[in-house]
Amino acid sequence: MSTSRLRHIAPLFSVSTKDGAGNNAVSSSATAATSNDYEDDLARYRVPPPEIRDIVDAPLVPALSFSPYRDKIIFLKRQSLPPLTELARPEEKLAGLRIDGHCNTTNRMSFYTGLGIHQILPDGTLGPEVEIHGLPEGAKIHFITWSPDARHLSFSIRVNEEDDNTSKLKVWIVDVETGKARPLFQSPDVYLNAAFDSYIWVDNSTLLVCTIPSTRGAPPKKPLVPDGPKIQSNEQKNIIQARTFQDLLKDKYDEDLFDYYATSQLVLASLDGTTKDFGPPAVYTSIDPSPDKKYVMISSIHRPYSFIVPCGRFPTKVQLWNADGKFVRELCDLPLAEDIPITADSVRKGMRSINWRADMPSTLYWVETQDGGDAKVEVSPRDIIYSQPAEPLEGEQPMILHKLNLRYGGILWCDDSLAFVYESWYKTRRIRTWVVSPGYEDVPPRILFDRSSEDVYSDPGSPMLRRIQTGTYIIAKVKKRGDDGSYILLNGSGATPEGNVPFLDLFDINTGIKERIWESDKAKYFETVVALMSDQEEGDLQLDKLKILTSKESKTENTQYNFVSWPDKKIVQVTNFPHPYPQLASLQKEMIRYQRKDGVQLTATLYLPPGYNPSTDGPLPCFVWSYPGEFKSKDAASQVRGSPNEFTEIGSMISHLWLAKWFAILAEPTIPIIGEGEQEANDSYVEQLVASAEAAVEEVIRRGVAHPKKIAVGGHSYGAFMTANLLAHAPHLFSCGIARSGAYNRTLTPFGFQNEDRTLWEATNTYVEMSPFMSANKIKKPILLIHGEEDNNSGTLTMQSERFFDALKGHGALCRLVILPFESHIYSARESIMHLLWETGRWLHKYCVSNTSDAGEDHDTVTVKEITDHHDVLH
């Protein structure tokens, strides 16, 4: 490496100190850390060097929201990273939920810090920002929705989190024209209950709100002595298999506490201040108005609850009420569903996916399984779709809309002559799209597309949806002047062997003929169609008046939004967001392709630091970050996904951050685990994993960009599982590993994991061989384990990392375990993120850049030829 580049290989961490105000600061000598600092294990939060910290703290780009009539736009301002105090708030873990008792919401909700409203002018540019005034200082904003007539915005806010009352959510209203904000309820004692749903607009001036019942007292107190032992019984010999769910109810006290926080009183609230209770208090989980706003479909759950499955499987009642708060009828009362099989595509018995037809005033549709919900049962049809008016005539039976032999996957509505019905089957990856005419029984359904969901090259795209006057979204029909054809718009990702080239096709629904009317500029940019902007008028869209919103980005230019208008496809830029991290604006990015020993084509994105030249600077330390995927065919696994022209969004936990410290980054090298035909992919998981990693490492060494002895590997969740397995079974490839929030012992997830739906007892050898815990004695390379202390992801209990660390330590492995207080599966607090990055930097510097491990002879990472020799021995 040239002398000019040595400055980039400085120590990768800094020491956190406190300034006079008690805030985190970085000492001036932090980057000149000594070897003693590496061994400093004091339990305090650290921060990475400024190069990393500045990228993480870069302001977030606002989110966008367009008015129903596409004449206004809101910029939703966001906070970068919340403080740890936000996560440290007390939470109740109940029935699969985590509830913030002070706010009566699900915990850790993201929020906006401000709003900016702009008029969209006739020429497509934006008018001046309408200032929102009247909000409390420091308001945290949630659940932003437009009124149907676009004259008002509704949202909830919370403020002082130390006060039990003011930290509860209140519903506010903003007049869009004036920017004046005010509370919806005149009484200061009405609070939102957002444990499940929040509120909906039922007309232009009325909302239906889930509120905390006014009669609710203090929460139930946990008894010092229980009434008896905790007992579960299966004396009926039922077969009940369940994944490793977390945060379940444990006893009667938990049941009472769940009822306390989850019970809502629905209230009709008008903008003029009048209110009216709507039905009795209950544990309402969703409220859904009919398109004509005459009815409300209300779902609620009730006892008996379960101690082995989360609340989504509790007994569920679905009822219809009219908009005035009068009960109409009960659609179903589904029993407790503890016995849904773990096999992919297994579902709940009875009515499911109950929804309103988007194109009709008040027509319901739903699905009922014919196989008892068990995907292993062979039956035809497997699912039946039914339809019925909200208030059927006496004796009127539901109409059968369609019968499916695969599993129902959804419906897109257009009108009585057109709807798309989707069905799929995971085991075969088959996906089919049907064209049905719901208003014409004499028109038989026909298959429009029948393909593999893995075959991205054959993906025809999805229909563009338009908003209609009821506020619902339907398939947009398009007319060409002088042409009687029936057209729709297909918006596709455009996967090709050179990368994704998104497109918009004009598709004749009768003939199947396509005409490409828009395509991304593939030479330099990556562009996508985001939404239709010319759907304000009723009736079919006219092609020569078409207007769409697109996004546009490149390797070095961050995402901006444009309006594109027909017939001349005039482009007007809507946003001009600054580059979030200009210090990496000239990073080098290349989508590379290479081949696995069995012939499978693999893909990865290679990132190199700005200004790096391999011929003069030599090979770099390299950080490989990935996540395995399962496939049914080698051809599908070999297909290219993604675009070389996409802008690199560098998140707070992403491996790309280390470009700032002169690393080569190999991001998301494909790790396909393939099971063709009747073969189970995981039965050869280790062999395919190692073969994929060998091919990736061989490629970066061949290119001269990665130092053979300085290649680290890392991953999160299933990627952490991958990392541990690679250190156990491919020690010749990597100098060290970083594994975050993984599951390492598959015997602790005996009823399936990831896409594996065989049980431990059906595939014992596979479970054992895939578990790096069982190969802890083979891991000789340094491994850093990081885990959130409150991980709620199914299977990845914090105990997984703790037990794995004990196993590694018991065999003398060079390892380190970092548990992040209050963090769940995805880390979010600034203190946690900064410390995570400090730990990562320390590990990379010590065991990759400096390569100071004394982990034994295996630490001598090998050459390309030796990789090939090892592969021959392994296979």
Tell me what pLDDT residue 23 has.
39
Tell me what pLDDT residue 651 has.
81
Tell me what pLDDT residue 42 has.
63
Query: Per-residue pLDDT for 813 more than 70?
Result: yes
Mean pLDDT score, 584-610: 95
Told to judge if 205 belongs to the known catalytic residues of this protein, a careful annotator would answer: no
Peptide bond into 582 cis (omega under 30): no
Query: What whole-number distance in Å separates Cα of residue 779 and Cα of residue 708?
Result: 19
The CA-CA-CA angle for residues 530, 532, 538, to 5°, reads 160
DSSP labels, 796-810 = --HHHHHHHHHHHHH
Query: Per-residue pLDDT for 332 more than 60?
Result: yes
Running DSSP on this structure, what letter comes out for residue 339? Answer: -
Contact status, residue 700 vs residue 665, Cβ threshold 8 Å: no
**Could you tell me the strand order of the sheet in which 570-573 lies?**
526-532, 547-553, 560-565, 570-573
Tell me what pLDDT residue 397 has.
95
pLDDT tier, 736 (very low <50, low <70, confident <90, very high otherwise): very high
H or E segment and range at residue 53: helix 50-56
Tell me what pLDDT residue 162 has.
62
Query: What whole-number distance in Å separates Cα of residue 832 and Cα of residue 791?
Result: 14
The neighbour count for residue 537, using CB atoms within 10 Å, is: 10
Running DSSP on this structure, what letter comes out for residue 498? Answer: T
pLDDT per position as a tens digit, 343-387: 999 999 999 999 999 999 999 999 999 999 999 999 999 999 999
Query: Per-residue pLDDT for 14 more than 80?
Result: no
Query: Per-residue pLDDT for 874 more than 70?
Result: no
Residues contacting residue 280 through CB under 8 Å, at least 6 positions apart:
none
pLDDT per position as a tens digit, 211-240: 999 999 999 999 999 888 988 899 999 989
* Greater pLDDT, 26 or 102: 102
Contact status, residue 706 vs residue 733, Cβ threshold 8 Å: no
pLDDT per position as a tens digit, 684-731: 999 999 999 999 999 999 999 999 999 999 999 999 999 999 999 999
pLDDT per position as a tens digit, 513-544: 999 999 999 889 999 999 999 988 889 999 99
Query: Per-residue pLDDT for 858 more than 60?
Result: no
pLDDT per position as a tens digit, 539-566: 999 999 999 999 999 999 999 999 999 9
Region of residue 765 (left: phi > 0; alpha: psi -120 to 50; beta: else): alpha
pLDDT tier, 131 (very low <50, low <70, confident <90, very high otherwise): confident
pLDDT tier, 163 (very low <50, low <70, confident <90, very high otherwise): low
Mean pLDDT score, 589-612: 96
Tell me what pLDDT residue 752 has.
93
Q: Which of 50-54, 80-84, 529-533, 856-860 has the lowest mean pLDDT?
A: 856-860
**Catalytic hit among 8, 732, 825, 835:** 825
Tell me what pLDDT residue 108 has.
84
Give 756-795 as a 3 state SS string.
ECCCCCCCHHHHHHHCHHHHHHHCCCCEEEEEECCCCCCC
How does the average pLDDT of the chain come out, rounded? 91
pTM score above 0.75: yes
Amino acid sitting at position 745:
N
pLDDT per position as a tens digit, 382-440: 999 999 999 999 989 999 999 999 999 999 999 999 999 999 999 999 999 999 999 99
Query: Per-residue pLDDT for 10 more than 60?
Result: no
**Catalytic hit among 198, 633, 717, 771:** 717
pLDDT per position as a tens digit, 53-77: 999 999 999 999 999 999 999 999 9
Mean pLDDT score, 594-603: 97
Query: Per-residue pLDDT for 864 more than 60?
Result: no
pLDDT per position as a tens digit, 636-676: 999 999 999 999 988 877 889 999 999 999 999 999 999 99
pLDDT per position as a tens digit, 503-521: 999 999 999 999 999 999 9
Burial label for 146, CB within 10 Å (0-12, 13-18, 19+), is: buried
Query: Per-residue pLDDT for 608 more than 50?
Result: yes
Told to judge if 741 belongs to the known catalytic residues of this protein, a careful annotator would answer: no
Query: Per-residue pLDDT for 19 more than 50?
Result: no
* Residue 420 CB-half CA count within 13 A: 22
Tell me what pLDDT residue 166 has.
64
Mean pLDDT score, 24-47: 50
β-strand partners of 679: none
Mean pLDDT score, 818-824: 97
Query: What whole-number distance in Å separates Cα of residue 650 and Cα of residue 56?
Result: 8
Tell me what pLDDT residue 24 has.
39
Told to judge if 71 belongs to the known catalytic residues of this protein, a careful annotator would answer: no
pLDDT tier, 161 (very low <50, low <70, confident <90, very high otherwise): low
Tell me what pLDDT residue 854 has.
46
pLDDT tier, 37 (very low <50, low <70, confident <90, very high otherwise): very low
Mean pLDDT score, 318-332: 97
pLDDT per position as a tens digit, 261-308: 999 999 999 999 999 999 999 999 999 999 999 999 999 999 999 999
The CA-CA-CA angle for residues 394, 397, 398, to 5°, reads 130
Query: What whole-number distance in Å separates Cα of residue 791 and Cα of residue 742?
Result: 10
**Catalytic hit among 732, 791, 801, 832:** 791
pLDDT per position as a tens digit, 463-517: 999 999 999 999 999 999 888 888 999 999 999 999 999 999 999 999 999 999 9
Amino acid sitting at position 736:
C
Report how far apart, in Å, the C-alpha atoms of 795 and of each of 307, 596, 723, 743, 784 are: 17, 30, 17, 6, 20
